[in-house]
Amino acid sequence: MTGRALAACQVSASYGSQRVLDRVDLHIAAGETVGLSGPSGSGKSTLARLLALLHRPDSGHVSLDGAAVTGTRHQVPVAMRTRVAILFQSPRAATDPRLTLAEIIAEPLRATGTPAEQARERTAELADTVGLTTDLLTRRPHAVSDGQLQRACLARALVHRPAYLLCDEATAMLDASTQAHVAAVIGEYQRRHSAGVLVISHDAALLARWADRVVDLS
Amino acid sequence: MTTTDPLLAVAGLTVRFRLPDAVVHAVTDLHLDIRPGELVAVVGESGCGKSVLAHALLGLLPRNATVTGRALLRTDSAGSRSGSAGSRGGSALARGGDGAAPVDLLACPPRQLARQVRGRVVGLVPQSPATSLTPVRTGRRLLVETLRAHGHTGADAPVAADRLAVDVGLDPADLDRYPHELSGGMAQRLATALALAPDPPLLLADEPTTGLDRPLVDHTLDLLRRRCDAGAAVLLITHDLAAAQRVADTVAVMYASRIVEHAPTEALFEAPGHPYSAALLDALPQRAFRPVPGHPPMLTDLPAGCAFAARCDRATPACRVQPAFTGIRAGQVACHHPLERAELCAEVPA
Amino acid sequence: MTAAVLTRVRRLPRLRPGRLGATVAGTVLAVAVLACLLAPVLWPLDQSAIDLSQTRLAPSAAHPAGTDDLGRDVLLRSIYGLRVSLLVGVFAALVAAVIGGAVGALAGTLGGWVDRILMRLVDTIAAMPHLLLGIFIVAMLRPSLGAVVLSVGLTHWLSTARIVRSELLSLRHRPFIDAAVSGGAGRMRVLTRHLLPHVLPRLALATTLMIPHAVWHETALSFLGLGLPPHLASLGNMINDGRGSLLAGAWWASLTPGLVLIVVTLALAALTAHWRDHLDPRVRAELQL
């Protein structure tokens, strides 16, 4: 494996006694969009969590731009963690109901020590990118729709300009228009930053349209 | 499509929510007929008010909601529908002795709704099955209880439970598990079986496929279709256009609290009449994969006239007046400048 | 948006059956607290004064709840007793919240063997009768307000620890925590910004629910003669002292402090339960459907 890429190398993972991934390889090169399909329970989400460095594989390893990653979650250096962003299926579960959309988007910046003023500017810029109007930014998750909340999650995912973006059924709960918009925003970001994108979906038409190549996990 | 009278006739349904600082226009002047054997899908962007429609029909709106209009449910229909559920005699309401008087779901007292309508005459296929199942009972007990409550005898119910399980694609052996031991898809099938158990003449499915993978989505949809073919009327509310295309007879497109177009499925997907329908279809990955330009308006702050005008490339000053859409027949478009097909389909027989 | 609207709608106040009960409970509690606060100003009491000419007088205008075997006004002493009991209750509940919160937070965030050891400790202490443990603690110290607070606090933090821990465990694996970790938040940031704010309302609730428990515990200790020095008015002391009068026909000497204890703790519990129903969206959702 050469060049910039996020890769899972022979990873296995299990929950309790149930093995969900058995020596799986997946390679996402910079600038590439990889589709991932497979029946439910085939370990698609687990693979995404492994690649997002949120879960430790039982065996095998994840490599980020050629370097094998050891450890998981907080054990991974911040600079490495923020190179990979993940977008979940349910934006409600993925956001803190106490925070406003602006705080949700700015949180990764604040957590890594960016001054408030700078974070505010970047939040406004990102909100504009994902198509959130300013009046929505002061609301909390319960007062916006799933589509609007997922846009906020996308803005948060892009806040550190990640080199890789993992979308775990990120548009499954969205209507066609919002889905197309989210995909367009990600596509534009990808072109600009030559980012690697993983799209997990059970919608064959979506993968055919969006991904450069599709990996079936079954 | 049948030529019978509608089982459910929704006329002028309007729902408003009073908030401390605003009024939410959730559903406005909605007309919709559903006949026995017909599957009607309501589609639209999130926040267009389609879920509120389902809640209104079930009488499950919060107390600050104001509902006007009528939703007449024919109560004699189920009796005339035979052969769909094996050896059962009469429908729940016919047994209840209500005769042929239609029930207005919007004016029905809550007690009557709860005891005689919800579940019995109007079945609900829920959105999140995992939370709608009692965790301390096995699937079999839930199902048998429901069947007994709806006229099956003690001896007959377990057999019917097994049959129903097979019907929805569940292994009867899985009925002996508790809800938390079931996968999401199995729980969805169990919830569907529970909704089908009383053999309701009208089924309401509110986003029944959210979170399911493709085979299960198809399975659930096909199940609704089969129910429909057996004589039930189904109202499918979904954000998933592909789902509507797969099973619906007619599709109503909802935008900013109103139905803007209601057309036979094939016609809608081939040649949409309303610019919004066309834009929404264009967002599909199979097509242009291009989002509808602009943003949907807030339901608390709808513009006068056509709510889509601001996003529409065909808009003219005429669009400042709300286009009429008072008809209740499939094939109509609420637009001053409809696309080609509209004239063509104005003739579509109901 | 629909879901959003519905949720917003649910936050509106509305009349529920629990509302009346909560109003009554609130009024009772307000009167009790006000009486406790104003008593030293309005009706000063010399705790050690006795008047043997006025023993065991039946309730009258001068003594609304009668007098006890040493000629002391029962109502006034009950109010002073309640002062002490509430004071002990509040401080003991705070001690329990601090200990329980710390143990629960450690177990819930660190997990692994720390969690296992701390929770076994909790189970072990929970296996011993509270009162026995409380007596043991008081017996080691001199009878004083501080000793009673410690005794109650040290025996009542277990449920708080369990609540905080389980709350943290269920939060720890929610996607929004994953998102925070992925966004670069450190351990402290996740704990202070994302976990604790969700736990704090729960902790506050548990602490408030603990106050009536603590009041009863203090009363029990005083009744057994292990609480405050006997000359100081405390509900437990008074109920105990009143036993002699009870045999002499002066039922009011024990009944009044007993009633005050029951009414005030019930009001406190009712008010807390009402608060919980409003606080907990899960309970709220169940009430809606």
ipTM of this model? 0.93
Tell me the sheet residues that pair with B205: B125, B236
Give the helix/strand (H/E) hosting B267. helix B265-270
CB A177 to CB B283 under 8 A? yes
Q: How far apart are CA C25 and CA B280, in angstroms?
A: 56
Does residue A24 belong to the interface with chain C, where contact is any CB pair within 8 Å? no
C1 to B46: CB separation less than 8 angstroms, yes or no: yes
Using a CB-CB cut-off of 8 Å, the residues of chain B touching C5 are 17, 19, 24, 26, 52, 299
Contact A167, A155 (CB under 8 A): no
The whole-number pLDDT of residue C13 equals 45
Enter the tokens of residue A155: 């803005």
Interval C11-30 mean pLDDT: 71
Q: How far is C44 from chain B (nearest CA, A)?
A: 49
b/e code B92-116 from CB counts within 10 Å (16+ = b): bbbeeebeeebbebbebeeeebeeb
**Contacts of C among chains (3+ CB pairs under 8 A):** A, B
- Give B100's contacts (C-beta < 8 A, 6+ positions apart): B74, B75, B76
Minimum-distance CB partner of A205 among B45, B46, B285:
B285
d(CA A139, CA A100): 5
Q: Tell me: the pLDDT tens digits for B52-108?
A: 898 899 888 888 889 999 999 987 644 444 334 433 434 444 444 445 678 898 888
Q: What is the pLDDT of residue B327?
A: 52
* Nearest CB to A93; choose among C4, C8, C174: C174
C179 at interface of B, judged by CB pairs closer than 8 A: no
- Residues sharing a CB contact under 8 Å with residue C149, sequence separation 6 or more, in sequence order: C88, C91, C92, C95
Q: How far is B52 from chain C (nearest CA, A)?
A: 7
**Which residues have a Cβ under 8 Å from the Cβ of B83 and sit 6 or more positions away?**
B230, B231
Do B193 and B166 form a contact (C-beta atoms < 8 A)?
no
Q: How far apart are CA B33 and CA B49, in angstroms?
A: 18
Q: Domain A5-216's class?
A: alpha beta
Alpha-carbon gap: B92 to the closest alpha carbon of chain C (Å) = 23
B255-285 residues labelled b (16+ CB within 10 A) or e (exposed)? bbbbbbbbbbbebbbebbbbbbbbbbbbbbb
SS (H, E, C) chain C: CHHHHHHHHHCCCCCCHHHHHHHHHHHHHHHHHHHHHHHHHHCCCCCCCCCHHHCCCCCCCCCCCCECCCCCEHHHHHHHHHHHHHHHHHHHHHHHHHHHHHHHHHHHHHCHHHHHHHHHHHHHHHHCCHHHHHHHHHHHCCCCHHHHHHHHHHHCCHHHHHHHHHHHHHHHCCHHHHHHHHCCCCHHHHHHHHHHHHHHHHHHHHHHHHHHHHHHHHHHHHHCCCCCCCCCCCHHHHHHHHHHHHHCCCCHHHHHHHHHHHHHHHHHHHHHHHHHHHHCHHHHHHHHC
Q: Does C64 touch chain A (CB under 8 A)?
A: no
What is the arithmetic mean of pLDDT over C3-7?
A: 46
Neighbour order of strands in the sheet with A5-15: A18-29, A5-15, A59-64, A67-69
Residue A202 with chain B: CB contacts under 8 Å: 213-214, 217
**Beta-ladder partners of B42:** B237, B252
* Predicted pLDDT at C119: 94
**Nearest chain A alpha carbon to C3:** A145
Which residue, among A46, A96, A135, A177, would best test binding to C if mutated, counting the most C CBs under 10 Å from its CB? Answer: A96
* Residues of chain A with C-beta less than 8 angstroms from the C-beta of B45: 147, 175, 177-178
β-strands B39-43, B250-255: how paired? Answer: parallel
Any idea how long chain B is? Answer: 350
pLDDT in tens, chain B (350 residues): 445 788 999 999 999 998 888 898 999 999 899 999 999 999 988 778 888 898 899 888 888 889 999 999 987 644 444 334 433 434 444 444 445 678 898 888 888 888 888 878 888 887 766 667 777 888 888 888 888 888 777 788 888 888 888 888 888 888 888 887 777 778 878 888 888 888 889 999 988 877 677 777 888 899 899 989 989 999 999 999 999 999 999 999 999 999 999 999 999 999 898 999 999 999 999 999 999 998 888 888 898 889 999 999 889 998 988 887 655 455 678 888 888 654 444 444 43
Distances (CA, A) of C126 to C37, C91, C133: 35, 21, 10
A174 closest CB neighbour out of B46, B213, B284: B46
Please compute the mean of the pLDDT values over residues C116-135 and round it to a whole number. 90
The answer to whether the Cβ–Cβ distance between A40 and B47 falls below 8 Å is no
Res C11: pLDDT: 43
State both tokens at B193.
């079986």
Which residues lie below 8 Å from residue B144, measured CB to CB, with a gap of 6+?
B157, B158, B161
Question: Per the structure block, which two tokens stand in for B154?
Answer: 């003690």
Q: Contacts of residue A178 in chain B, CB cutoff 8 Å?
A: 45-46, 291
CA distance A4 to chain B (A): 29
- Chain C positions touching B26 (Cβ under 8 A) are 2, 5
CA distance A152 to chain B (A): 15
Average pLDDT value for residue range C56-81: 84
Quick one: pLDDT at residue A48? 95
Q: How far is CA A216 from the centre of its chain?
A: 19
C12 touches chain A (CB under 8 A): no
CA dist., res. A144 & res. A150, Å (int): 10
CA-CA distance, A32 to A196, in Å (whole number)?
A: 5
Chain B residue with CA closest to C11: the answer is B19
Q: Domain spanning C24-37+73-280 has what CATH number?
A: 1.10.3720.10
* Chain C: closest CA distance from residue A132 (Å): 14
Which residues of C fall within a CB distance of 8 Å from B48?
1
Q: Which two tokens stand for residue B166?
A: 């097979």
Contacts of B23 in chain C (CB under 8 A): none
Q: Do C182 and A82 touch (CB under 8 A)?
A: yes
Given an 8 Å threshold on Cβ–Cβ distance, is A203 in contact with B212?
A: no
Q: Which member of A49, A98, A143 has the closest CB to residue C8? A: A143
Q: Quickly count: other Cβ atoms within 10 Å of residue A132's Cβ.
A: 25
Inter-chain contact B52–C5, Cβ cutoff 8 Å? yes
- Interchain CB distance below 8 Å, A202 and B213: yes
What are the structural domains of chain B?
A: 1-121+203-218+231-350 (3.40.50.300), 129-199 (no CATH)
Q: What's the mean per-residue pLDDT of chain C? A: 83
pLDDT score recorded for residue B86: 38
CB atoms B291 and A172 under 8 Å: no
Average pLDDT, chain B: 82
Task: Work out the end-to-end distance of chain A between its first and last CA atoms, rounded to an integer number of angstroms.
Answer: 24
Nearest-Cα distance to chain A for B133, in Å, is 21
Query: Which pLDDT does position C3 carry in this prediction?
Result: 47
DSSP symbol at A61: E
Residues of chain A with pLDDT under 50: 1
pLDDT on residue C180: 95
pLDDT attached to residue B341: 54
Average pLDDT over residues C259-279: 84
**Chain A residue numbers touching B289 (CB-CB < 8 A):** 180, 183-184, 209-210
Q: Do residue B52 and residue C3 have CB atoms under 8 angstroms apart?
A: no
- CA closest to B131 among chain C residues: C286
Interchain contact A143–C (C-beta under 8 A): yes
Contact A203 B242 (CB under 8 A): yes
B47 touches chain A (CB under 8 A): yes
C185 touches chain A (CB under 8 A): yes
Q: Is A98 helix (H, G, I), strand (E, B) or coil?
A: coil
pLDDT of residue C91: 94
Residue type, C10: R
> Taking the CB of residue A193, how many other CB atoms lie within 10 A of it?
15
C14: nearest CB among B47, B63, B65: B63
Domain boundaries, chain A: 5-216
Q: What's the confidence (pLDDT) of residue B186?
A: 80
DSSP string, B57-123: HHT---TTEEEEEEEEE-SSHHHH--SSSSS--S-HHHHHT-TTPPEETTTS-HHHIIIIIBTTTEE
Cβ contact (<8 Å) for C1 and A144? yes
For residue C103, pLDDT over 90 is answered with: yes
* Interface check C1 vs B, CB under 8 A: yes
Are A95 and C179 within 8 A, CB to CB? yes
Give tens-digit pLDDT for B271-282: 898 999 999 999
What single-letter DSSP state applies at residue B293?
A: S
Strand intervals (E) in chain B:
8-18, 23-34, 39-43, 65-73, 103-104, 122-125, 202-206, 233-238, 250-255, 258-264, 332-333
Chains in touch with A (3+ beta-carbon pairs under 8 Å) read B, C
Question: Closest Cα partner for A6 from A24, A32, A25, A27?
Answer: A27
Are the beta carbons of C4 and A52 separated by less than 8 Å?
no
Is C175 within 8 Å of A54 when comparing Cβ atoms? no
Return left, alpha or beta for C7; rule: phi > 0 is left, psi -120 to 50 is alpha, else beta: alpha
Chain C residues within an 8 Å CB radius of B24: 5
